[in-house]
Structure 1
Amino acid sequence: MTENNRKYPEISFVDTDTELLVNSLIKSYEMFTGRTLYPADPTRLFILWVADIIIQERVIIDESAKQNIPRYAEGEYLDSLAEIFKDTYRLEAKAAKTTFRFYLSTILSSQQIVPKGTRVTVDGEITFETIEDLYIKAGELYGDVLAVCQKAGEIGNDFIPGQITQIVDLFPYYEKVENITTSAGGTERETDEAFYERMRESMESFSTAGPEGAYIYHAKTASPQVADVSATSPERGVVDVRVLLKDGEMPGEEVLKNVEAAISADSTRPLTDFVKVSAPEVVPFNIEFTYYIPKLSANSGMVIAEEVEKAVNEYKKWQTEKMGRDINPSYLISLLMKTGIKRVEVTSPTHAVVEENKVATLQNPPSIINGGVEDE
């Protein structure tokens, strides 16, 4: 399920080899009856049918048994195994959040309330509602309040400031409304792979001394979007936590608030630690190369071009999804050489060391040049 599993052997609880079972059944039949079963013998065909049924049952038994092992378990079986880990539960889908600024049409001599639950919509389908009463003080024209999307999941993410402006529930002296932060924090239900990885990391949470692994674990509990966490201590009593989202995306303000709340709780943060949560620093790089196709290639130029593009996308994902991963052109070359090309001249990237609180980020779209055909 994850890279950590590679040190564990693959196991099976029952043998599911069809050929071995068929041979065993045929030999047993021949031993008891004294008959030789030839390929077209109806009895042999019946044995093949019986073997097929037995193998199917064995596969079911094997898969059922594997659900008792965390690295193989899926769905509700994995959820059930979580009870052997400390306070670890699958993260359910969460709704996106943003901050709204409500404007009044005139200055009032008394405060104006914007009731909790006031709704603002993007298009009539995606709607946010305020989570507390907002009191706009006398003499002021606007006030800010946090709101949450009515639909859980990623659907409410990435609306930049000024995109959510259509009010649903009017109130006295209303002038206009707009979101002043980019909506973020909406997540789908945690996947089996991510949940299993976090279950393993939960062992770090037994310590209250503030180890690196504990901060990483608690940061990941804030949102299934969190893919990588770096926790360092640049000076005594200070913990610098950097957060990276899936696919190398940078966290928005709302996600950072959720992570800070998760790792700053009195039950998780050592009393003497001052915790700072932010996005990782960026180390920019570009992808520029020219590749050449062998003259007697078994694949067409179009097929190779598609494979080259897939290799570039795989490299981009690998390079940008983890903090502290050095910019490594050798890995790009290794992926490209598997596509059927003859050779490649890489102009960029060049090797660069990336510190643990930084992440490599692609600056411009990849520049891929087909240099043509060459003899062997």
Structure 2
Amino acid sequence: MSIVTENFPDISFIDDATVEETMNQMIADYQEKYKELTGKDISLGQADPYRLIMYACTMQIYQAMQYADYAGKMSFLKYASGDYLDNLAALRGISRRQAAAASTVLQFSIETEYPFAVAILAGCRVTNGNDLFFATDEYAEIKAGEKQVTVSATCTQTGVQGNDFAPGELNVVVNTLPYVVTVTNTVTTYGGADIEDDDSLRDRIYSVPDTYSTAGPDGAYEYFAKESDTSISDVVVQTPSPGEVVVYVICDGGKLPEEALLQKVSEHLNDRKIRPLTDHVTIRAPEKKEYDIDFTYYIANSQKTAAGTIQAAVNTAIEVYNSWQTEKIGRDINPSYLIQKIMEAGAKRVDVRSPVYTVLNNSTIAMAGTVNAMYGGIEDD
């Protein structure tokens, strides 16, 4: 959900009129004008031809009203979408970020040292056995007398599907390479992104005025950090001492960033066009504070026919809570929200043993641990 759509009021260019209200207004206007011209009252029955004509006209008029309402809303950041939002972005000098391919580092190895170099051509493809491939970004070679070399590689497809392959998962060489015995990725694949969605672009448009100077304000550092990679979902900026800036970042789903991503953000924020000369900028992953979920919940007797549905909804509520809890750096571990979601799922009451309310500082992120959700049975209302 965008901060803009959450924090600004709804508007309507047609005063939220319904088709029924429009129809009734047309009939009332007709009756009023008829009496003005004839001095007589008139009542239109449900099957009256004039009423049917007005009903047909109402449908066309109301459709035009809907178009007018839609067109008006597309001029506002809260409602704009698609190409309309892209045009609002152009007014601020930014554009929608396109899909990006994931990256990693591959290590090619041989068993025996040779007195000559073993070439790894640019574009050499590696996979984990599925239909997703990573290709080396540049030419590399295992030098004479050595057994291995590392080289960066990029997924041949854009999108998030290239992310989160753990070290060692990419281990199948597609191209024929003489002498090379093994290959493996040494870092978790990262940086793949789908084309930027409307909510993300909407928030960037809203935040871009912070960047009109250099990245002095915390809002500017937040903007430029998110701009450096589409997988970054939250940023916290701290100044422990004058001239010192520490930027904490996390990725989508509350994941901690890999070292390669931290380096990428650091290089972007330390660009001379972004960083004030007097700032020393450090990029870090936040500290982890793990919490476990342990509770027992009960269902009211009046809801026993829906017990299966409620139990499934409780499991979903746990997922929603974990997602909410881990999406922001420094968000306190708050069992009250867990209770709220479980009650909304249909439980009569819930006895939460863990987590307990824990205050986190702005350099720490909550991370979900074990989950023990016990169903206590049916209770009288």
Same fold (TM over 0.5): yes
SS in 2 for 1:174: coil
Greater displacement, 87-96 / 173-182: 173-182
Partner of 1:356: 362
Equivalent of 1:76 in 73, 77, 83: 83
TM-aligned CA distance change 1:44 to 1:363, over 3 Å: same
Deviates more, 1:213-222 or 1:118-127: 118-127
Identify the match of residue 266 of structure 2 among 237, 246, 260. 260
Counterpart secondary structure, 2:228: coil
Q: How does 1:1-376 map to 2 (within 5 A)?
A: 2-15=2-15, 16-33=17-34, 35-85=42-92, 87-104=93-110, 106-123=112-129, 125-208=131-214, 210-297=216-303, 300-364=306-370, 366-376=371-381
For residue 108 of structure 1, give the secondary structure of its aligned residue in structure 2: coil
- Secondary structure of 2:50's partner? helix
Distance 2:353 2:45 in 1: 65
Q: Among the aligned pairs, what percent are the same residue?
A: 37
**SS across alignment from 1:287:** strand
For 1:240 and 1:264, the matched residues in 2 are separated by: 12
Offset, 1:337 = 2.7
Distance in 2 between residues matched to 1:339 and 1:172, nearest whole Å: 59
CA deviation string 1:35-85 (max 9, x = no partner): 421122233123222212211221122112211111211011111111222
Local SS of the residue matching 2:181 = strand
Letter in 2 for 1:177: V
* 5+ long unaligned stretches in structure 2: 36-41
TM-score under structure 1 normalisation? Answer: 0.91
1: CA distance, partners of 2:163 / 2:215: 35
What TM-score do the two structures reach when normalised by structure 2?
Answer: 0.90
SS of residue in 2 equivalent to 1:360: strand
What residue ranges of structure 1 are gaps of 5+ in the alignment? Answer: none
Contact 1:185 1:254 in 2 (8 A): no
Distance 1:173 1:306 in 2: 54
Deviations along 1:139-162, whole A, 9 cap, x unmatched? Answer: 212111101011000121122222
CA contact (8 A) 1:245 1:251 kept: yes
Residue deviations 1:201-250 (CA, integer Å, cap 9, x gap): 22221232532211111111122221111122334443222211222222
Q: Say whether the 8 Å CA contact 2:228–2:268 is kept in structure 1.
A: yes
Contact 2:222/2:235 (8 A) holds in 1: yes
Using the alignment, how far apart are the partners of 2:127 and 2:140 within structure 1? 18
> Against the structure 1 CA distance between its residues 370 and 4, is the aligned structure 2 distance closer, same or farther, given a 3 Å change threshold?
same
Aligned partner letter, 2:79: Y
Shift, 1:11, TM fit = 1.4
